[in-house]
Amino acid sequence: MARRPLPRILSNGSAQLARSRELARTAADSATDVLHPLITITRGLRRLASAGRRRWVDTPKDRRGALLFGVAAVLLAVALAPYGPLLAVVALMAAAAWHGRDRTPAVPAGPAPGQLQRLKSLYEALVPYFAASDDPEPLYARGGDWGKVFSEYEFDGDGRLAHLLISYPAYFTDAEPTSRARIEHLLGAKCGRGREHHFSWDEEANQLAVRVLAPLPTDIAAQPFVTAPGETVLGFTDPTRVQRTLPLTHGAHGEERTDVPPVVWRTGVRSTEPHLLAVGQPGSGTSTLLRSIALQALHHGDVVIVDGGGTGEYACLTGRDGVLAVECALSGAVTSLEWAAAETERRLAAASKAHQAGDPPPEDTRRPLWLLFDRPSVFTHLAAADDGGTDPQALLVAPLRHGRAANVTVVVAEQFDGLDALAAPVRQHTRARVVLGPATAEQLEAVLGAPPHTTPVDQMPPGRGYARLGTGPVHRLQVPATPDPYDDATNEAHRQAVLDLLPPRTTPADEEPGPVPEAVRLDKAATEKVAAAAGLAPEAEVTEPAPPEGAAVAESSS
């Protein structure tokens, strides 16, 4: 069957609509110019009528009769005077034109003297970077015209630049990171230190857009986030590269509601970045990030926490439903991670057996297991001093390599001074990265793999930094306030927010855990595979990877 051509109204309708829209806009502008005097007089009459009505309302009732008599006498005198009505109409129209004039203050034609000096100084500072001696028509030259290169500019209330659009010559090497970094460093210094500037390079048009970013909100406390299973909110960012928002409450008492763009990290079988590494200075908020992740993970999975700092930052989670262990000593950390490695192998064996039989994976292999390891370099040092002790990082190899298939997620937090002590598997498999606190551009690029598009500042609130998921863009990040509720210096509203999110305590901290649920027991074949993977003798009797000593084992929801 031959295809019928589209009607003309559909084939060239867009062009006709654009032409009609342009004609309508031109007609409206012409009508506004012609009818401008009439519009002004009508506006003035309306204002005069409003003023007369207010005068009548404000006049006391006992004086309104005298006011009416005075108005009537004036009207009678005008009516009897020669040319009185004509002069009255002319006077009324003049008064209406005067009161109906546009009172909007005129916008200055150019920048103020102080703003003009800033633009000239910035132009002269850019000359050594954008000028070339052999350019016949240079955009940048000593004493040149800054208006040719600064096509858009805005200033804030303090007189500092808030937005700037810069044109640069085509021969500038904008594809080289070092060249870009020099320009960004200069603009960050000249446009105002202590603020974060976002740089957007348009290589095709040879333009650079600089915009000052507003501070991220720091009063968002931990709360239930509207996310799907397998999604974890790391924090909140700018709406520049994130199309999704979350409804949140914030403020001193949680009385304000707003939608904030989040940084969502997806884990599980289909995740491309199943493990995360968080790096920061002391007091930058890495422990806060781990507590926030733990509270979200407990909604759908189990958590094992290893605290290398030994400061008791995670004592509030001890014995809670779903928290298998909170370890602060080297021996407990080794025991917990040995169990986690064996559990990873068990899950792989059970899932492989189900796949070979054509069955879905067992329910106990689908429940996520989270391993949160804070400051592993401390335990590495202790293990080295223990004459051949087991390094806990060596036990993370199996969860890191096979965690995505086994629904095991590893989160490691370390400080910059202990970053060199991280094992190679930890660096290789933690492709989701977070940097919190003040850091240099070199440190940010070394951890994230790419420099951020903003200028880092020296002073940052706790939980403030940058995040990058795999090979994606670098986002500004503000971690939700999730402090230790047992800390006396904690804000009361934030403390209560964390306490409301904690699961019920099913096992006291000083009691032994109950019997292992039937869901986590191994069959004989899987046990032999686990024993062989762990290097045990074939005759060694192993029934299941027992949970770590002192851990609270939660009942399986299935």
If phi over 0 gives left and psi between -120 and 50 gives alpha, with beta otherwise, what is residue 387? left
Distance between CA atoms of 147 and 130, rounded to whole angstroms? 15
Its sign, for the CA torsion 177, 182, 188, 194, is positive
- What is the Cα gyration radius of the chain? 35
Distance between CA atoms of 486 and 315, rounded to whole angstroms? 8
- Give Dmax over CA atoms of the chain in angstroms: 129
Relative orientation angle of helices 397-406 and 330-356, to the nearest 10 degrees:
40
In the sheet that holds 150-155, the strands lie side by side as 150-155, 161-167, 207-212, 197-202
Per the CB < 8 A criterion, the answer to whether 302 and 368 are in contact is yes
Report strand pairing: 408-415 vs 276-280.
parallel
280 is known to lie in a ligand binding site = yes
Supply 545's token pair: 């990877």
Tell me how crowded residue 209 is: count the other CB atoms within 10 A of its CB: 14
Residue 517: alpha-carbon gap to chain centroid: 40
Determine the number of helices (DSSP H) and then strands (DSSP E) in the chain.
16, 16
Per the CB < 8 A criterion, the answer to whether 433 and 392 are in contact is no
283 is known to lie in a ligand binding site = yes
**SS3 at position 401:** helix
281 is known to lie in a ligand binding site = yes
Supply 5's token pair: 């051509």
In the sheet that holds 231-236, the strands lie side by side as 262-266, 231-236, 475-478, 464-469, 432-436, 276-280, 408-415, 369-374, 302-307, 323-327
DSSP secondary structure, 45-78, as one string: HHHHHHHHHHHHHHS-GGGHHHHHHHHHHHHHHH
284 is known to lie in a ligand binding site = yes
557 is known to lie in a ligand binding site = no
287 is known to lie in a ligand binding site = yes
Non-local CB neighbours of 432 within 8 Å, separated by 6+ positions: 265, 273, 275, 276, 277, 467, 468, 469, 470
Tell me how crowded residue 516 is: count the other CB atoms within 10 A of its CB: 14
Distance between CA atoms of 297 and 169, rounded to whole angstroms? 51
Tell me how crowded residue 318 is: count the other CB atoms within 10 A of its CB: 20
178 is known to lie in a ligand binding site = no
> Residue positions in the annotated binding site for ATP?
280-287
> Residue positions in the annotated binding site?
280-287
